[in-house]
């Protein structure tokens, strides 16, 4: 026990455990059914609690659960980028590789979040009934560009491409490609047989070297 930090009571621990179980259940149901098709009853059943327990923890029901799921997911992605670019050291290419590896591993370990990120977030961004989701995504993108752009500038600029646009390109390459590849947990590999480190190699080459094209037909 850390001095000055008493151990939470069993009631507090139980409340936290139920809160986390509800978030896990909501994440899974939203990924499988979509936000609008999902119901509070389904989420409660998945968490093995009564419907009233959902409203006890999330008084606004499904909308509050969505906000919590989206917020936690985007905060996790923000932390990965800050760890690689805000706190990391080394050449920009290496820092992008470490980020690609971290994000690939993150999604591989959370396949329901990959599905949610790929299928639900794009729709929810333009959905007026999805609460602050669009604002959260906009803030995340802005924060990430603010972290990546200085690293590009310190590396000597980006030539003809504006620095912030180049930073956006790196992030889109990373998240967009991971979504398209549809990572799974089978054999610790993605759907095309790449482990996270190999996927990080491929995405880094794509982001920094582009796709070599042959002569036109």
Domains of the chain by residue range: 63-209
* CATH no. of 63-209: 1.10.357.10
Lookup: tokens for 85: 């670019």
Euclidean distance between CA atoms 152 and 142, whole angstroms: 15
Identify the burial level of 164 via C-beta atoms within 10 angstroms of its C-beta, where 0-12 means exposed, 13-18 middle and 19 or more buried.
middle
- Each of the 217 residues of the chain gets a pLDDT tens digit; together they read 455 566 567 677 788 889 999 999 999 999 899 999 999 999 999 999 999 999 999 999 999 999 999 999 999 999 999 998 888 788 889 999 999 999 888 988 888 888 888 888 888 989 988 888 889 989 988 988 998 888 888 877 656 678 888 888 888 888 877 766 654 444 444 555 668 888 889 888 888 887 766 666 6
């Amino acid at each position: 026990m850390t001095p000055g930090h008493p151990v939470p009571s069993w009631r507090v621990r139980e409340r936290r455990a139920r809160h986390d179980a509800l978030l896990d259940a909501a994440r899974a149901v939203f990924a499988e059914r979509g936000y609008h098709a999902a119901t509070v009853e389904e989420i409660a059943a998945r968490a093995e609690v009564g419907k009233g327990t959902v409203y006890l923890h999330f008084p606004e029901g499904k909308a509050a659960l969505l906000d919590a799921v989206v917020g936690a997911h985007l905060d996790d992605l923000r932390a990965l980028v800050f760890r690689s670019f805000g706190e990391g050291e080394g050449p920009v290419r290496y820092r992008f590789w470490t980020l690609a590896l971290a994000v690939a591993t993150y999604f591989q370990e959370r396949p329901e979040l990959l599905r949610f990120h790929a299928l639900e977030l794009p729709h929810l961004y333009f959905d007026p009934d999805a609460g602050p989701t669009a604002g959260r995504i906009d803030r995340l993108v802005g924060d990430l560009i603010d972290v990546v752009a200085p690293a590009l500038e310190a590396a000597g600029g980006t030539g003809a491409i504006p620095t912030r646009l180049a930073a956006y390109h790196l992030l889109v390459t990373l998240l967009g490609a991971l979504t398209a590849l549809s990572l799974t947990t089978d054999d610790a590999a993605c759907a095309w047989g790449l482990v996270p480190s190999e996927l990080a190699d491929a995405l880094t080459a794509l982001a920094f070297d582009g796709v070599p094209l042959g002569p036109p037909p």
